[in-house]
Amino acid sequence: MRRVTALLAGTALLLQACSSGGSSGGNVPAPTPTPTPGPAPAGLYAIPGPESLSVADVQNVIAHAAAEAQARGKPGVIAVVDRVGNVLAVFRMTGAPANAVTSPAPNGANIDAQNLTIPAEAGAIAKAVTGAYLSSGGNAFSTRTASMIVQTHFPPAPSTAGLESGPLFGVQFSQLPCSDLSARYGSLGADALIGPKRSPLGLAADPGGFPLYKNGVAVGGVGVMADGVYGFDANVTDVDADPEEAIALAGTRGFEAPEAIRADHIYADGTQLRYTDMPYTGLITPGTATYAATSPALGSLVAVRGYTAAIPAITAGAIYGSEASGVRAATSGEFSNSNAFVLTNGFGANRFPVIAGTDGAGAITASEARAILEEAFTIMTRARAQIRQPLDSRAQVSISLVDTNGVALGIVRSPDAPIFGIDVSLQKARTAAFFSNSVAGAQLLADPSADVRAFVPAARTFLNDPNALTGTHAFTDRANGNLSRPYFPDGEVGRPNGPFSRPVAQFNPFSTGLQSALVLGNLGAHLQFVTGASITDTPQGCTSISRVRNGIQIFPGSVPVYRGNTLVGAIGVSGDGIDQDDMISFLGLHFAGVRVGGIGNAPAAIRADNITVPVGGNPVRLRYVNCPFAPFLDTNTSNVCAGL
């Protein structure tokens, strides 16, 4: 316990901002950065074992979940996915609700995805994907965990008002069905298992979704919809008797997450995360159910348009790390670090190879792109993980680099980084590049939605700057996130909402503000397609703005890339603690600039932490990046970002 306390205390000591100009370390002198080491040696990361869910495994998951549902008198829809999001089966029990309704707005003025009727199958798939995507060999997170880390205060409870928002605030609007990164069922053939696949509703915060493990290896997730409500847990101080959680937990029997890596063994900002409110000892059934006694006696497999074949059947999962899974080890020609993984099309080709920028003169060159990704990867290999067990594990993340057009110039990841970070790292990179761009305001004002357009004058009024969103400042996701919270400063009850957020009286995880407004039309179009009300699916582009075609992200982990005073792109990182994500992007870019020259972080004078907003008679400064105080495994160096 002393070791845990010491570690948490160390990681909680954060820099106010990792930039020069009076906001980067108080009276602590900025150390001279140590030279970046060469490529990390092979073998730093264990490769996940070649495990996958067989047809018989999926049958067992369904049988155990359905038996528990029957015992509780709560027939439901049960979905099973593999680690990269392929839907392996959807089972509808006789009498299960056809639909569910998302949580309404606090003030009753429902917008975005609030109070929205959704197909129960879509909710079950989203929960299963969430359990699979948020988990890894070092951490097992459920949808209850997700609920805890996306709300207005962390931890969420009536007694915690005044605390900052959850560390992954906004992550629910990732893995969207319109994402250009996420593969679609049948896009590479009817039986293609290429991932990562999209989710019909993004990530879920409604308890009832868990990861699945086989011989200790993350292999997928199970999700259940049975009560007609697709919501979130607003109070973690009590213990819920949630039937959906019990049913889904029963489905994990034989595929349980290792106890040592479950969320309740992991801390964030000194707070113990939640995994489940239902212990295995609280289940009614003994775990002896069989699929032969389940189908058709209790229900049947169903097809879900856009996610399964028209004739429903159980599919075996892909082996994560194989070519067929869509995520595999990089070849030496694709990336220099032998620990790296890349996304593949299933036929040997890297989907996001390292390339030069597409934005004309001064664009990031291919060699510069490679240097940025390699240096960020090296920083990751040296960093202590925040959300992984055992303690002192190496950080594992996904890293994306984009140009000013939002085109991916390369995506690379560690072997066991959570899958959700792939799409999120690309969202983060695109968000930083877009909000730092001179065209940001104009393109938002050209959006067909009046709701979206209104955020521009709101931001200019809030910042008292008629030139805001015209490229005058460099924005990270942390800075943009400051402006995307229902309180400014974050968490302080009674303060105004940031200009990119909904007012708190109208806010909940289904309506965050500009983030949700940008994708509302595409999300609605997709649900119409899933239900058969429309023959046309949403396009692979979540917004009218191509630069952020998989949506924007509003929690930290990105920095824009500059050539002198000129914006040329951005790097995004996701998969570990948000301060680790900030540091990997910030230091990775810095060392790339040292290595090749010509590129680097934004000049200190234009970083967003130069912006102050008067609140209650006092100036409040935006943040740029926060770096852990002593983050590395190979050195005791502290304040590693100060002065850069």
Confidence of residue 193 (pLDDT cuts 50, 70, 90): confident
Domain ranges of the chain: 2-44+324-436+556-605, 55-316, 440-548
Q: Mean pLDDT throughout 53-64?
A: 98
Does residue 100 contact residue 149 with C-beta atoms inside 8 Å? no
Q: Mean pLDDT throughout 182-186?
A: 92
Give the residue from 504, 434, 513 showing the smallest Cα distance to 153. Answer: 504
**Confidence check: pLDDT of 189 > 70:** no
**Confidence check: pLDDT of 365 > 80:** yes
- Percentage of the chain surpassing pLDDT 90? 90
Q: What is the pTM of this model?
A: 0.93
**Confidence check: pLDDT of 118 > 50:** yes
Q: Mean pLDDT throughout 241-256?
A: 97
Largest CA distance in the chain: 70
Does residue 323 contact residue 84 with C-beta atoms inside 8 Å? no
Terminal Cα distance for the chain, rounded: 35
> Can you spell out the DSSP letters for 394-461?
BP--EEEEEETT--EEEEEE-TT--THHHHHHHHHHHHHHHHTSTTHHHHHHTSS-HHHHTHHHHHHH
What is the structure's pLDDT at 399? 98
Q: Identical fold at 2-44+324-436+556-605 and 55-316?
A: yes
What is the structure's pLDDT at 617? 87
Is the CATH number of domain 2-44+324-436+556-605 3.30.70.1290?
Answer: no
Q: Which amino acid is at 337?
A: N
What is the structure's pLDDT at 192? 77
- Number of Cβ atoms within 10 Å of the Cβ of 620: 17
For the chain, the average pLDDT equals 92
**Confidence check: pLDDT of 261 > 50:** yes
**Confidence check: pLDDT of 38 > 50:** no
User: What span, in angstroms and rounded, lies between the C-alpha atoms of 578 and 131?
Assistant: 19
Does residue 247 contact residue 208 with C-beta atoms inside 8 Å? yes
Summarize pLDDT for 266-313 with one digit per residue, the tens.
999 889 999 999 999 999 999 999 999 999 999 999 999 999 999 999
What is the structure's pLDDT at 74? 98
3-state secondary structure of 173: helix
User: What span, in angstroms and rounded, lies between the C-alpha atoms of 60 and 486?
Assistant: 43
Q: How many CA atoms lie within 13 A of 404 on its CB side?
A: 20
Structure tokens at 392: 């002192």
Summarize pLDDT for 377-414 with one digit per residue, the tens.
999 999 999 999 999 999 999 999 999 999 999 999 99
What is the structure's pLDDT at 42? 59
Summarize pLDDT for 500-550 with one digit per residue, the tens.
999 999 999 999 999 999 999 999 999 999 999 999 999 999 999 999 999
Protein fold of 55-316 = Beta-Lactamase (3.30.450)
**Confidence check: pLDDT of 188 > 80:** no
Confidence of residue 39 (pLDDT cuts 50, 70, 90): very low
**Confidence check: pLDDT of 15 > 50:** no
What is the structure's pLDDT at 43? 77
Q: Which amino acid is at 534?
A: S
Give the residue from 252, 46, 274, 23 showing the smallest Cα distance to 144. Answer: 274
